[in-house]
């Protein structure tokens, strides 16, 4: 049933985004194992629409474009109007899923997000880490880009000086423990790889030889 629903949704998405450049553009959902993280959070990028729980399609240069686009629109329809939230975006597969020695690379960290704004996809608050687009290294396979939303409950959130020195190898579990952040209110993820590793790019390169 989930697969049927996903296929129908993808068809609507392709129409909504006006994908006329490549009629073979396939929006592929994540595996059931990776889809466990997809709980109520929507992440919208230009041209792609809501890419939560999906692979970035290997067409229309999307895997290259996403490395250049500015921060996405993030929505949580069940946000409480009078609450504040924390948004975290991390890559647990840095530099690769098979050797994640720099795991939980911090791509974005925003606090003090008003629930009313979150419902409209307006991520306005204190940016402790400004948005850094997905940029998986070449030959590193697919990376998961994970979004977590936590209820702030009035606490002032800050990074330690040592955490501000680098985005990589972030001890996210210690950060969450420090501020008593337990289960996220919502979450999602998408996957992509370096555009040079995609079959479309490699085919185009081979055709030019």
Nearest to 189 by CA among 48, 15, 29, 2: 29
Question: Are 41 and 188 contacting, i.e. CB atoms less than 8 angstroms apart?
Answer: yes
Model confidence pLDDT, tens digit, residues 101-155? 999 999 999 999 999 999 999 999 999 999 999 999 999 999 999 999 999 998 8
Any domain includes 5 = no
Domain boundaries, position 77: 30-196
* CATH number, residue 73: 3.90.280.10
14 in any annotated domain: no
List C-alpha distances in Å: 67 to 46, 56, 83, 127, 136.
12, 11, 32, 20, 9
Q: Is residue 113 part of a domain?
A: yes
Structural domain total, the chain: 1
- In whole angstroms, what is the distance from residue 117 CA to residue 89 CA? 18
Average pLDDT score over residue span 189-204: 88
Q: Using pLDDT thresholds of 50, 70 and 90, give the confidence band for residue 16.
A: very low
Residue 19: pLDDT over 50: no
Q: What is the pLDDT of residue 206?
A: 67
57 within a domain of the structure (yes/no): yes
Residue 23 has pLDDT above 90, yes or no: no
**C-alpha 200, offset from chain centre:** 22
Q: Which ranges constitute the DSSP H helices of 31-145?
A: 32-35, 62-65, 115-119
Is there a domain that residue 90 lies in?
Answer: yes
**Which of the four pLDDT bands, split at 50, 70 and 90, describes residue 13?**
very low
What's the pTM value of the predicted model, to 2 decimals? 0.87
Looking at the domain assignment, is residue 121 inside a domain? yes
Rounded percentage of the chain residues whose pLDDT exceeds 90: 80
Q: Which comes out higher in pLDDT, residue 208 or 108? A: 108
What's the confidence (pLDDT) of residue 204?
74
Instruction: Please provide the size of the chain in residues.
Output: 209
Return mean pLDDT, the chain. 89
Q: Does the residue 21 lie in any domain?
A: no
């Amino acid at each position: 049933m989930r697969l049927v629903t996903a296929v129908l949704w993808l068809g609507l998405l392709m129409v909504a985004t006006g994908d006329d450049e490549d009629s073979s553009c396939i929006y592929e959902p994540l595996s059931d194992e990776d889809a466990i993280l997809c709980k109520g959070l929507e992440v919208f990028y230009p041209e792609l629409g809501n890419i939560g729980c999906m692979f970035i399609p290997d067409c229309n240069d999307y895997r290259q474009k996403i490395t250049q686009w500015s921060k996405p629109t993030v929505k949580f329809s069940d946000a409480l109007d009078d609450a504040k939230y924390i948004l975290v975006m991390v890559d647990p597969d840095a530099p690769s899923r098979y050797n994640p020695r720099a795991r939980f690379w911090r791509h974005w960290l925003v606090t003090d997000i008003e629930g009313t704004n979150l419902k409209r996809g307006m991520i306005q608050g204190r940016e402790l880490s400004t948005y850094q687009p997905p940029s998986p290294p070449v030959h590193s396979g697919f990376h998961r880009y994970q979004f977590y939303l936590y209820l702030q409950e009035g606490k002032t959130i800050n990074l330690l000086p040592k955490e501000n020195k680098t985005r990589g190898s972030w001890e996210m579990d210690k950060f969450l423990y420090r501020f008593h952040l337990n289960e996220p209110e919502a979450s999602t993820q998408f996957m992509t790889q370096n555009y040079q590793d995609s079959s479309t790019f490699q085919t185009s390169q081979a055709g030019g030889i």
